Amino acid sequence: MRVDIFSDIICPWCYLGRTRFKEAMAGFDGPVDVMWRPFQLDPAAPATPESATERLAAKFGGPARVAAMHERMRELTMAAGLPYEPERALRANTRDAHRLVWWAGRNGGQDALVDRLFRAYHAEGRDIGDAETLTTLAAESGLAADQVRALLASDEGAAEVARDLEQARALGITGVPFFLFENAWAVAGAQPTDVFSAALREVERNLSATADPLP
């Protein structure tokens, strides 16, 4: 079964949804082929890093409201066993990170890279818009640093990322995470693990029914 996950590294709900979906996959009998696809929550983010919390405060009604948002998400991530330090997060443009994720998908290391990028942004305050930081994180996830550095110095993957972003718009995706099963069924949001488990079973049943020969 193929599942395309549209997400953005800076999205805390994607960080949480990733863990919940992994738990659902662990309890599912069949094979699941996950492909990470790009979405940009902040495509206008500048190259120079700045406090993500300050940006959110300006966007969502002030520091007190953002502090409450952080605490609510901290409760959820703690329950999922995830480190989460949103006050350290740096606003960054994620286009190069998405190019790197696309490239990792062609080189067999996409899942490990995505997990490393999520943790770097949401728990470690790393600048995921910086090429050297991305190279270091990619190497830590098992990818070849010299190849990653060459990728980021080029425009390889830019057209593919742009195409995927356009597909997200065509699908009507306005928020992430968004889980697309077999290009036919969808689950939106960081749903509880049991919802993802039910979705996997339902898609498997639908695929089996479609594959059954006519009497």
Q: For residue range 186-206, what is the model confidence (pLDDT) as tens digits?
A: 999 999 999 999 999 999 999
What CATH number belongs to 2-211? 3.40.30.10
For 65, 204, 206, the CA distances from 210, given in Å and listed in that order, are: 48, 10, 6
Q: Is the omega angle on the peptide bond into residue 177 within 30 degrees of 0, that is, cis?
A: yes
Tell which residue, 66, 1, 65, 55, has the closest CA to residue 28.
Answer: 1
Cβ atoms of 190 and 21 closer than 8 Å: no
d(C-alpha 112, C-alpha 184), whole Å: 26
pLDDT at 212: 54
Total-model pTM: 0.94
- Reading the block at residue 150, the tokens are 């060459």
For 38-86, the pLDDT digits (tens) are 999 999 998 888 999 999 999 889 999 999 999 999 999 999 999 999 9
Percentage of residues of the chain with pLDDT beyond 90: 92
Give the residue extent of every domain in the chain.
Answer: 2-211
User: Is 114 a residue whose pLDDT tops 70?
Assistant: yes
